[in-house]
Amino acid sequence: MRYQPIFDIAELCAQKGVTQAILCPGSRCAPLTIAFSRHDDITVRTFSDERSAAFIATGIAHQTQSPAILVCTSGSASFNFAPAVAEAFFQEIPLIVFTADRPKEWVDQLDGQTIRQNNIFGEHVKKSFTLPEDYEHPDAVWYIHRVVNEAINLSQEFPKGPVHINAPFREPLYPSKEEKISFNKNVKIIQSNSVAGALTDLKAKELSERMNDFSKVLVLSGQNDFDDELAKAVEKFSATRHAPVVGDILSNLHSRQGVVRYSDTFLGACGEDVKASLQPELLITFGKSIISKNTKLFLRKYKPTEHWHLQTSGTAADTFQSLTEVIHCVPKDFFKTLVMADSENNFSSQKKENFRRLWEAEEHRTTNSMGPYFEESTFSELLAVKEFISQLPQRCNIHLANSMAVRYANLIGIEAGKKGIHVYSNRGASGIDGCSSTAVGHALCHETPNFLITGDMAFFYDRNAFWHNYPIPNLHVLLLNNHGGIIFNMIDGPGNVPELEEFFVTRQKLTARHLCSEYGFDYLHVDSLKKMKNSLKDFLVFDGKTKILELESEQEGNKEAYKNFKQQIKKGYGA
């Protein structure tokens, strides 16, 4: 059979445990679509919007911790994968991206759906391959098998990420009725074991001794997947070394006590004398990006003497302009190993304890200021997010859309000790374009309850996340609809220009009511705290239907509430 090597791809993926495929409709990709859809061990779903489909695949890969397959037809369809491919690249999420193509001799010949697809994703994939157009020679078959093995292996090697396979196909693209499709169970499999580096006892001893030279050690976590074992190891290290630990809502360290969650809030309010007292001598970081601009600015100004970054492999980003050493290891192994290396030593000193207390004092000052604010505050998006987060069930995923949703949630934080709440956000590229679709991907492949907090711009931009035939009863959406891009009213800069309303805020009049009617979702609408509390009783119950709770509010009221919140924190410093 002409396309037997392509059918082998499906068998190869299945044997290597890559069993989730997202297929976008199209004719040129028919050989791939038929191969994956007819394989009994591969779960296939189809989505018409390639941009949304790619983010759904990203969510599936993230949730399952296994590569997801993406397939589209030739032409501009492949470009629509690009935003999600970039997000997956920076979040280190494995994807196997197949783009069907015309034969190379027809590129630039005014043929339909034909563009320049080789290396179309540029530097935002780990590698890009192009399959041969003809399969008669055994070497071509060998090459296809080898490339797909390499792509799957590479996607899972540290750092994980997307790999692109461009597949040119000649017509005929469809098998005849008489042809029988079979899968070669003896297809060539090439295994690869990707093991992250581990700290040797000698290296651990060296780092432990070097750490003794510093009285002010600060641990800072960027975005991480939830891992209670990691959180526990960090907690023990903090207790042993008297080192404060800073972690925003995306650090997923909330399962343990003692993490400084509100650094963004108090570093934006305190004076330079307080900041100077918080300056670390040694900064230890792990994870990906942090949300807080104030924390970034603080560490760039009050630089540590040394900055160690922990990651499995690759080149580290020098976010705070102070990087002195990259330690290739699994972060939780670093903290475990250092605790073991330190077990016979007593690192207690007044200086170290005082430094941790300084950070804890600013955290307590902030929480003490927040309490009275929320007790007296009028209804706003910020207050609504607080009310919602405080009632989250013990076991759920919470997805935070970009723009104000993730910032509101970070101001509130997850209550310490909640071990079953996993927090996700598309902070690789930090766009609003696929936040809903990514959450849908998570919900489709696992029964865990999923909540999405999103703003109206992100929600309506990605409304095709719901344009498919798959039920998602385990996804509930809290929609903060202020009818425009309110973030431009919140951040410094845009408010000073006359173009603010027309070209930045870009007000819109939509609500989610009609979308819910179209798709058969439960629709809840609130515009007051009383209605919010009443509606949450229903919204938090998963009873077999997707639910959207839409909070409509005025931008001016939200702007004022956000301003008052920051002023309340500053009052704690006498400002």
Residue 495 above 80 pLDDT? no
227 and 268 belong to one structural domain: yes
For 380-413, how does the pLDDT look when each residue is reduced to its tens digit (9 = 90+)?
999 999 999 999 999 999 999 999 999 999 999 9
Q: Give residues with Cβ within 8 angstroms of 358, minimum separation 6.
A: 244, 277, 278
Token pair, residue 113, equals 């759906």
What pLDDT, on the 0 to 100 scale, is given for residue 346? 59
Question: Mean pLDDT over residues 223-227, rounded?
Answer: 97
Q: At what angle do helices 404-412 and 381-390 cross, to 10 degrees?
A: 60
Question: Mean pLDDT over residues 103-107, rounded?
Answer: 85
Token pair, residue 248, equals 């925003």
Q: 371 in a domain, yes or no?
A: no
Q: By the 8 A CB rule, do 518 and 464 touch?
A: no
324 and 390 belong to one structural domain: no
Q: 196 in a domain, yes or no?
A: no
Residue found by looking up tokens 């890009």 in the block: 128
Q: By the 8 A CB rule, do 151 and 77 touch?
A: no
Neighbours of 96 (CB within 10 A): 25
- Out of 365, 398, 416, a domain closes at 365
Neighbours of 64 (CB within 10 A): 18
Q: Is the dihedral of CA 534, 536, 538, 541 positive or negative?
A: negative
For 5-18, how does the pLDDT look when each residue is reduced to its tens digit (9 = 90+)?
999 999 999 999 99
81 and 107 belong to one structural domain: yes
301 and 381 belong to one structural domain: no
Residue 296 above 90 pLDDT? yes
Q: Is the dihedral of CA 558, 562, 563, 564 positive or negative?
A: positive
Q: Give residues with Cβ within 8 angstroms of 284, minimum separation 6.
A: 217, 218, 219, 220, 243, 307, 308, 309, 310
Count, in order, helices (H) and strands (E) of the chain: 20, 18
What pLDDT, on the 0 to 100 scale, is given for residue 2? 80
Token pair, residue 76, equals 């501009």
- Residues forming beta bridges with residue 477, ordered by sequence position: 452, 548
Q: By the 8 A CB rule, do 483 and 456 touch?
A: yes
Residue 188, helix vs strand vs coil: coil
Residue found by looking up tokens 């993490």 in the block: 259
Residue 575 above 70 pLDDT? no
Neighbours of 63 (CB within 10 A): 24
Size (the chain), residues:
575
Residue 490 above 80 pLDDT? no
- Out of 145, 168, 191, a domain closes at 168
Residue 489 above 80 pLDDT? no
What is the radius of gyration, based on Cα positions, of the chain?
A: 26
Neighbours of 126 (CB within 10 A): 19
162 and 222 belong to one structural domain: no
- Out of 341, 365, 389, a domain closes at 365
Residue 560 above 80 pLDDT? yes
Question: Mean pLDDT over residues 547-560, rounded?
Answer: 94
Token pair, residue 99, equals 């783009």
404 and 343 belong to one structural domain: no
CATH of the domain at 150: 3.40.50.970
CA atoms lying within 13 Å on the CB side of residue 405: 32
What pLDDT, on the 0 to 100 scale, is given for residue 1? 64
Q: Give residues with Cβ within 8 angstroms of 115, minimum separation 6.
A: 74, 75, 76, 78, 79, 107
301 and 422 belong to one structural domain: no
d(CA 108, CA 515): 41
Domain, as residue range, for 463: 377-571
124 and 223 belong to one structural domain: no
Token pair, residue 275, equals 């900041």
Token pair, residue 540, equals 């938090």
What pLDDT, on the 0 to 100 scale, is given for residue 76? 93
Chain centre to alpha carbon of residue 145: 31
Residue 343 above 80 pLDDT? no
Q: What are the backbone angles phi and psi of residue 15, rounded to the nearest 5°?
A: -65, -25
- Residues forming beta bridges with residue 550, ordered by sequence position: 479, 525
What pLDDT, on the 0 to 100 scale, is given for residue 297? 98
Query: What is the four-CA torsion angle of 471, 473, 479, 483, rounded to 10 degrees?
Result: 30
pTM comes to 0.95
502 and 468 belong to one structural domain: yes
What pLDDT, on the 0 to 100 scale, is given for residue 47? 98
Average pLDDT, the chain: 93
Q: 143 in a domain, yes or no?
A: yes
What pLDDT, on the 0 to 100 scale, is given for residue 52? 99
Distances (CA, A) of 174 to 28, 36, 181: 9, 14, 11
152 and 239 belong to one structural domain: no
400 and 353 belong to one structural domain: no
Q: How many domains does the chain have?
A: 3
86 and 219 belong to one structural domain: no
d(CA 433, CA 437): 9
